Amino acid sequence: MRLDTSSGREWGHVMDWGGHPDESLGVLTDLLDVTDEQEWQERALCAQTDPEAFFPEKGGSTREAKRICQGCEVKDDCLEYALAHDERFGIWGGLSERERRKLKKRAV
């Protein structure tokens, strides 16, 4: 438990978030998920390159984006995120929209 010196309030137990304890656990889980997403996204090679390569015009080449993804240490996290959040546009984890749809169909 930690004391917030500005307010004198103690932090570190579930009820600090307000509401029912079960609801608070959901908030904590959501915050952890966001933190995890931010960590891998900050390490992603695409964050250091031109984003337009990852969202080509219809019929445009995906080659450059896929090449960048191949050397990216968080490629698997990226693909997992795209599948979990039903990302319908762009290159995620080295796969195009069409490739992700095929992958999802095979998984079902």
Question: Which residue type does 108 have?
Answer: V
Global pTM reads 0.65
24 known ligand binder: no
d(CA 93, CA 82): 8
72 known ligand binder: yes
Q: What pLDDT does 36 receive?
A: 67
pLDDT digits (tens, 9 = 90+) for 51-79: 899 999 988 999 999 999 999 999 999 99
d(CA 95, CA 34): 23
d(CA 36, CA 55): 23
- Among 72, 65, 51, which residue's Cα sits nearest to residue 99? 65
78 known ligand binder: yes
68 known ligand binder: no
